[in-house]
Structure 1
């Protein structure tokens, strides 16, 4: 496409991307990273507003808009400063006058129903906080979705009509069976009427002029999930599992989001104004497949975002990861820059997958007919054997025993290390000469539901009443005794895993709750302890699902997650002192986590590196924030610490191992170690996950890819990765192999190995990202 069709801001960012060829059905622009994606959308928004000071806008909720919102605030607040003038000039806006946002007409895109607008996890609250107040918009010119203001028959409140917030939409089509159902049926039609009026108000304004939205894991825009009518309007509707899984974090668990309906503008609403600027932005490889479907498919109900093909001014703004599956991106990967062995490996492995054919059966004609394999230099009969040999070398590296090493495994959250590399850690732990440490960087309290904590606290109170937590009777327990024998709680619990004694396992958990409560609230005796625990139960019962807990309850939830992490590694005899809980301060349970700070977040990691002096460090390598943004921000902090440590010590022999888990995966060409996973390893993974991560067994916050615990999704991932390599090497390579470990292989995990120079290169890039500049 001709770039002159782009606005000045778009032309500037498009030029930076270096993309020459664009064959997608909707124009797209690629940015280098997540923060610059936010800067780009911010500048494009301000550019549009300057020409449409009373225009109709719809802006997104969630975590993706973080840098869009922050950059917009920063630019407007510092408009006349030299750095901002230079920034605007760099992106074609040097002559732009400061836009006045007060005349804009805001339209809320969607909302859960029912939900109180006062709840911090309502989209109404988000819009009010970050856009109406945050951008200084006029609330009188805004169309908002407020469940309290949607009239129901007889002036009833939604809590009266829909107990438990459950709504049966089949009442639209069937007869009522009771007086209560008659009221509910009438209420559903009242909501439908309200939605029609909302739609009419949008159209009276001429439709939406500037739409900015994300794209869901199923390809949804707004809450128009897969299968939505391409001409749909504002409506009350159900969602699908993928959307419910993403919403679980907002609503306090899949148990809530599975039954909560939504009000959303429709695909017809978004495209009603033919001159609308409609932008979808996406970051990370986790979105790559759905982005490809949206941009390269014909208009189709299976891919809702394809409807934007109707709009000449529709655009996709993408990070490199989100764009990586596009046909154009694949072509650029292979046709630009020097040819590398990784390109050869990727091309051959992908051809095996595409043809569903074993590597030894690939013919030279098939290689030449493939657009990417045909580019391999010196393509010939030895090409596939060369790739086979390279992959076998990676398997050998994955099986190599680590001995006499000091190993520092890190995870952004509890369970990340397990889900990322547990079979690898298992083998390291079997070697007595290794000194192994596990460090979890954040408290992880958001993964513990109120329901789980209430149940555990009620059990604790009952056991206290029965005198079954005897340690509180020791005379010095509340002064100093509580601080000893934390390992005993772990051993007691696992001893009763072996005995299959559920009650005693629960008692072990309650012991840890008591110790944690004494630490947090500094209780002086058992009477005060009971009072505190009862108050916590009452507070939680009075809270809505998904609410932000007070800091002391956040800490209690986090300490329960820490207990879970200690249980996992205690399976292998790792003592509590070797499981480190850093609780980095940027993690506070806010919608947008703060950026890491040197003194608060980087220095604690640096101090541990100085003390432990690891020879191997593992970390979750997610530089684009494909998974939770915590992954990305923890990586920033670790990168900064390693960079600082490299100035103090000789790290030429330090090995840095990057892993990925259920959120984001390596291609085998990009991995350096392929680690065999046996049925025994899979069994240990699932058993230890179920027995240790007590708060996660019921998968309250699942992946959109799988309706179940993360351990089961990890198993499926490792098994799928083995199949990828089996196609290249042949199944017989595994079952006929002389090596027993390879014969026992029924899954594979992929690891990328870096030296300090390679990793500090990432560190420099991430430092630029944290400063909001382009990398």
Structure 2
């Protein structure tokens, strides 16, 4: 494969560093260790191409995916001729390359929501102007862009006049309009189609795209060419599928918006029209591993849109190791390279059970010897499977151990991360009276609360105030000190009405807490100002477009709603409000690209929390690749820096770090060293606490692409799936005949990794190294 597809100097340098020596996929690929380094690879290749094609045509992605591509490109252009820049260039194949000039490039916008105002900060038009045309110094005059405000419609009308609800019914392409408005809409759709054809022609008249860079969606989409798109598709107005809508929900303010918004996208044939084009797809994280495998190991097929890159001799996938983990090449390399580890034995045996759909105790030695990977196990024997079974059994035994006299600090990047990650494990700890438990969410999580939820809550709060049902505001000292007292009572009142199934009183409990939050955030001195503030906030939110960044005080209000929800969850188990810590780290701003964690602003508050609590165990989400929601890996880095600093002033030799994953990432049983049984009761508690407490999340405005509903359902399915995978090795009778009741009751499993401080810091250090070169 490498001989058939000669690599550029940059690609050769990264290939050498990756250690990959066999590429058998239908499209070549390169791998790097983590998400930030993926940005470095892409930036180097882009600048290498631009240096050779200063008048070329480029098309670059939007969203969070290109964050480090943009940052590394700007870093290299700024530091091209100084020591820092020369070091990077020398190492990665740009040593003798003259500094690229970008001003004469022609930029092609890949896609856009329709309709959406080009003035909105969440439009892709605004994004490409900010980060590419201005950020890279590209020519605005030469750019080929998608501006919804300028696309001609019937009678010269605006899209808000023709599509007053911002919904476009594409069935009007094929049916008779029923009303005068539909007739206008039909004529406008035809005009949009005409515009799309002209857009396509402009690209082709420019010679086609010479350098294309795009991400890949969970369904395999590139640009907005979703699963099933024609391989010869061109620029068009089209609908999207659920997975794409779920991914876009964050940009547009919720699935309620993205499900009803169409898109204009370049087609698959647009991308490969120029046969000499460099076409690159980037993907990070194990969540993308299966679609990457399908896209790279499948013949050209419209079910996997990215297979169209097989048409380009310079078509490439740039991947993190996590995204490449399921490739046949990667699996082969995993087993064939380096010393044979016990993890390899566990993985190969468990994968064989899955492949043959056979329980472990029924595997025959002949089947082990015939398999490509289990045949590599040293000293393979009749007892090998029993040893693996015993190893997994030992991990389950660790998950059953009773923990006593521990000071537990459970942390999460967002509200609900802890619950969705390891709630059944935590409930066992909380049932032991000698343990002291604390919970800390490190960001305020305001981006997960929709404007609609806040508006509805504030309107109900006004109604309660009018009816005299929020009595605390009448107390003489409420606006001086009373607002900050009895927060545990709020929580208890709310949960009492969960128990009594009284939704009105439950909502009143939420409104009580919202009033306290309003007084704190807006420094409200009296009842009159309270009403005025509620009206002001409602007015601001009603006049905001979906997905617009809120003013700082409304962000804080939204965050405090999420904080109340978190307090409610842990109060289920008797945890007091004072033991639920809200850190609100400053890097979390709601911007498309948030800052890297800062030592004083983001690390010191975590260290200070350690000093006060003095935990003996700390749990955290473990995303060592830095590939998932960016908050995850930034919190990971801040926490790692805090643990390191705390270790300089406190003996951490006995401190344990629990690395867990939830709906975004999953451990495999051979990666984890602790397995916790999950009962139907545990599943019910998790589902009920989520539905009753995370009120802003129950309607799933920002759902997982794998499920159109609550995240608790995704977590439940994950735990059940993990049990099914382990049952294939251990057999069902291992569980229902076990001598421990909690194993017999298990209908799901949780995996996590228990580490000492040194092991944890080593896990986080590689990601830190990949970022620090830009700082």
* TM band (smaller chain): over 0.9
Instruction: After TM superposition, give the deviation of residue 773 of structure 1 in Å.
Output: 6.9
**Match in the other structure for 1:235:** 236
Instruction: After TM superposition, give the deviation of residue 35 of structure 1 in Å.
Output: 1.1
> Aligned ranges for residues 2-13 of structure 1 at < 5 Å?
2=2, 5-13=6-14
Instruction: After TM superposition, give the deviation of residue 574 of structure 1 in Å.
Output: 0.3
Q: Secondary structure at the match of 2:165?
A: helix
**Match in the other structure for 1:295:** 296
Alpha-carbon displacement from aligned partner over 1:572-625 (angstroms, at most 9, x marks no partner): 010000000000000000001110011111111111112111111100001223
**Match in the other structure for 2:104:** 103
Q: Secondary structure at the match of 2:138?
A: coil
Rounded Cα–Cα distance in structure 2 between residues aligned with 1:527 and 1:769: 53
- Given that 1:36 and 1:773 are in contact with CA atoms closer than 8 Å, whether structure 2 keeps it comes out as no
- Given that 1:615 and 1:654 are in contact with CA atoms closer than 8 Å, whether structure 2 keeps it comes out as yes
**Match in the other structure for 2:362:** 361
Instruction: After TM superposition, give the deviation of residue 92 of structure 1 in Å.
Output: 2.0
Task: Report how many residues are paired.
Answer: 774
Rounded Cα–Cα distance in structure 2 between residues aligned with 1:182 and 1:428: 64
**Match in the other structure for 1:32:** 33
Alpha-carbon displacement from aligned partner over 1:448-468 (angstroms, at most 9, x marks no partner): 000000000001111111111
> Aligned ranges for residues 135-534 of structure 1 at < 5 Å?
135-534=136-535
Rounded Cα–Cα distance in structure 2 between residues aligned with 1:578 and 1:38: 39
> Aligned ranges for residues 617-628 of structure 1 at < 5 Å?
617-628=618-629
**Match in the other structure for 1:752:** 753
**Match in the other structure for 2:653:** 652
**Match in the other structure for 2:768:** 767
Instruction: After TM superposition, give the deviation of residue 358 of structure 1 in Å.
Output: 0.6
> Aligned ranges for residues 33-48 of structure 1 at < 5 Å?
33-48=34-49
The 1:136/1:773 distance shift into structure 2, 3 A limit, reads closer
- Given that 2:56 and 2:210 are in contact with CA atoms closer than 8 Å, whether structure 1 keeps it comes out as yes
Alpha-carbon displacement from aligned partner over 1:283-327 (angstroms, at most 9, x marks no partner): 111111111111100000110000000000011111111111110
- Given that 2:623 and 2:636 are in contact with CA atoms closer than 8 Å, whether structure 1 keeps it comes out as yes
Rounded Cα–Cα distance in structure 1 between residues aligned with 2:527 and 2:120: 35
Rounded Cα–Cα distance in structure 1 between residues aligned with 2:767 and 2:16: 22
Alpha-carbon displacement from aligned partner over 1:507-546 (angstroms, at most 9, x marks no partner): 1001101100110111100000110111000000000010
> Aligned ranges for residues 541-560 of structure 1 at < 5 Å?
541-560=542-561
**Match in the other structure for 2:681:** 680
Rounded Cα–Cα distance in structure 1 between residues aligned with 2:109 and 2:162: 25
Q: Does 1:20 find its partner at 2:26? A: no
Rounded Cα–Cα distance in structure 2 between residues aligned with 1:563 and 1:68: 37
Instruction: After TM superposition, give the deviation of residue 487 of structure 1 in Å.
Output: 0.9
- Given that 1:199 and 1:269 are in contact with CA atoms closer than 8 Å, whether structure 2 keeps it comes out as yes
Rounded Cα–Cα distance in structure 1 between residues aligned with 2:87 and 2:613: 45
**Match in the other structure for 1:73:** 74
Alpha-carbon displacement from aligned partner over 1:690-726 (angstroms, at most 9, x marks no partner): 0000000001000011111000011111001000111
Rounded Cα–Cα distance in structure 2 between residues aligned with 1:200 and 1:327: 40
Rounded Cα–Cα distance in structure 1 between residues aligned with 2:756 and 2:167: 54
Rounded Cα–Cα distance in structure 2 between residues aligned with 1:610 and 1:770: 28
Q: Secondary structure at the match of 1:548?
A: coil
Rounded Cα–Cα distance in structure 2 between residues aligned with 1:348 and 1:554: 50
Instruction: After TM superposition, give the deviation of residue 83 of structure 1 in Å.
Output: 1.5
RMSD across aligned positions (CA) = 1.0
Q: In structure 1, list runs of 5 or more residues that go unmatched.
A: none
Instruction: After TM superposition, give the deviation of residue 671 of structure 1 in Å.
Output: 0.6
Instruction: After TM superposition, give the deviation of residue 86 of structure 1 in Å.
Output: 2.2
- Given that 1:626 and 1:663 are in contact with CA atoms closer than 8 Å, whether structure 2 keeps it comes out as no
Q: Secondary structure at the match of 2:27?
A: coil
- Given that 1:672 and 1:753 are in contact with CA atoms closer than 8 Å, whether structure 2 keeps it comes out as yes
Q: Secondary structure at the match of 1:668?
A: coil
Rounded Cα–Cα distance in structure 1 between residues aligned with 2:774 and 2:561: 38
**Match in the other structure for 2:740:** 739
Instruction: After TM superposition, give the deviation of residue 769 of structure 1 in Å.
Output: 2.6
**Match in the other structure for 1:597:** 598
Instruction: After TM superposition, give the deviation of residue 34 of structure 1 in Å.
Output: 1.1
**Match in the other structure for 2:643:** 642
Rounded Cα–Cα distance in structure 2 between residues aligned with 1:764 and 1:391: 29
Q: Secondary structure at the match of 1:165?
A: coil
Q: Secondary structure at the match of 2:141?
A: helix
TM-score by length of 2: 0.99
